């Protein structure tokens, strides 16, 4: 990608210009990021360490946790540091890298969430064929395809955006390098790129969300004939999944399904899918999932007993 630009760095306006608000945001988002890292690392460690969690559902959950760690790390550390920085700058290639990684892991999250819905559909609606449908090879292929699809999406977004010239404009009215705010700085016609963003990010967000809605509709209809205990367990699992899906997809659709028009509300909406959802994932999946809670307790007790034996 050839740099067609006189600009060597960009300046973020951030979430607020008020010093007191920035200091409050620093501590708040630092807490959020710590929760994201600790919570998702705990899920990863638990799923990898506990034998009875070696199932397709938890395989996808561990992949979701890995993606959340990488996805939030694309924006959160820089945003947190900027809250206590006088000058919120990012280099040209730093902006390119941030946009690429943000869209890569963001798109991967969409695909993994969609695959998780398919896994729940197979488990609830096709229980006798579940182990055949969701074999180990199938799970690996689905996650690999999610990564390949995300790579293609991110490359298209990043290359189309940064092949444009940026003459003198440097100030990005956002807290990270996203497509719409960066396109506003380009000193060239951005119509085709704007259309590609809607066709790419917008339709992927909307398409995955509609697939998820369809899968949950089928699951809910199939539960009418089940026992109350079976319904309760299925609704608990699917309910937690759908909560995450709603917090993630609805803001994404709001931002990316429209042409490159920015609103003051955009930055606040972006916080939901860049920070809130990666933080909610471990909280929802651990607090509402008995298997994970039991596995965490088992790991803790196992570690404590091992320490006692070593000290004794």
Quick: pLDDT tens for 29-53.
999 999 999 989 988 888 888 877 7
| Span 279-291, pLDDT tens digits | 888 888 766 667 7
Q: How many domains does the chain have?
A: 1
Sheet of 171-172: strands edge to edge? Answer: 89-91, 9-12, 171-172
Indicate whether 209 belongs to any domain.
yes
The enclosing domain of 24 has a CATH number of 1.20.1070.10
Rounded-to-10 torsion of CA 306, 308, 311, 312: -110
Indicate whether 260 belongs to any domain.
yes
Q: H-type helices in the chain, by residue range?
A: 19-49, 56-73, 76-83, 92-125, 130-133, 136-162, 179-183, 191-197, 203-222, 228-256, 266-271, 277-287, 290-311
SS3 201: helix
Indicate whether 1 belongs to any domain.
no
Instruction: Give whichever of 10-14, 189-193, 293-297 has the largest mean pLDDT.
Output: 10-14
Q: 311 pLDDT band (50/70/90 cuts)?
A: low
User: What average pLDDT does the segment 195-224 reach?
Assistant: 86
Whether the CB-CB separation of 193 and 149 falls below 8 Å is answered with no
Domain hosting 236: range is 9-307
User: So what's the pLDDT on residue 257?
Assistant: 84
Residue 2 has pLDDT above 50, yes or no: no
Instruction: Give whichever of 91-100, 123-132, 240-249, 296-305 has the largest mean pLDDT.
Output: 91-100
Indicate whether 62 belongs to any domain.
yes
Question: How far apart (Å, rounded) are the C-alpha atoms in residues 41 and 196?
Answer: 35
Indicate whether 4 belongs to any domain.
no
Indicate whether 312 belongs to any domain.
no
Indicate whether 3 belongs to any domain.
no
| Span 12-21, pLDDT tens digits | 998 888 889 9
Instruction: Give whichever of 58-62, 148-152, 190-194, 202-206 has the largest mean pLDDT.
Output: 148-152
| Span 235-260, pLDDT tens digits | 776 777 777 788 889 888 888 887 76
Torsion sign across C-alpha atoms 284, 151, 249, 123: negative
């Amino acid at each position: 990608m050839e740099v067609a630009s006189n600009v060597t760095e960009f300046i973020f306006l951030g979430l607020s210009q008020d010093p007191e608000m920035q200091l409050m945001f620093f501590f708040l988002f630092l807490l959020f990021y710590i929760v994201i890292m600790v919570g998702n690392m705990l899920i990863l460690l638990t799923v990898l360490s506990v034998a009875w969690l070696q199932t397709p559902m938890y395989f996808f959950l561990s992949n979701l946790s890995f993606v959340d760690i990488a996805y939030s790390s694309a924006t959160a550390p820089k945003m947190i540091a900027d809250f206590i920085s006088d000058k919120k700058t990012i280099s040209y290639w730093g902006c390119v890298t941030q946009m690429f990684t943000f869209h890569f892991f963001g798109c991967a999250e969409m695909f993994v969430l969609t695959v998780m819905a398919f896994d729940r559909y197979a488990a609830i609606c096709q229980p006798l064929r579940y182990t055949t449908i969701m074999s180990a090879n199938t799970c690996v292929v689905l996650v690999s395809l999610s990564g390949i699809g995300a790579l293609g999406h991110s490359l298209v977004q990043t290359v189309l955006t940064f092949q444009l010239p940026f003459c003198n404009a440097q100030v990005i009215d956002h807290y990270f390098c996203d497509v719409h705010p960066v396109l506003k700085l380009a000193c060239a016609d951005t119509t085709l790129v704007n259309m590609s963003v809607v066709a790419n990010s917008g339709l992927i967000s909307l398409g995955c969300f509609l697939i998820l809605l369809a899968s949950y509709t089928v699951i809910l209809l199939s539960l009418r004939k089940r026992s109350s205990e079976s319904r309760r367990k299925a609704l608990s699992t699917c309910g937690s999944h759908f909560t995450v899906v709603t917090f993630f997809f609805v803001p994404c659709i709001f931002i990316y399904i429209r042409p490159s028009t920015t609103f003051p509300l955009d930055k606040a909406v972006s916080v939901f899918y860049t920070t809130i959802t990666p933080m909610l994932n471990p909280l929802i999946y651990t607090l509402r999932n008995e298997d994970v809670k039991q596995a965490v307790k088992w790991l803790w007790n196992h570690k404590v007993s091992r320490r006692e034996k070593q000290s004794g």
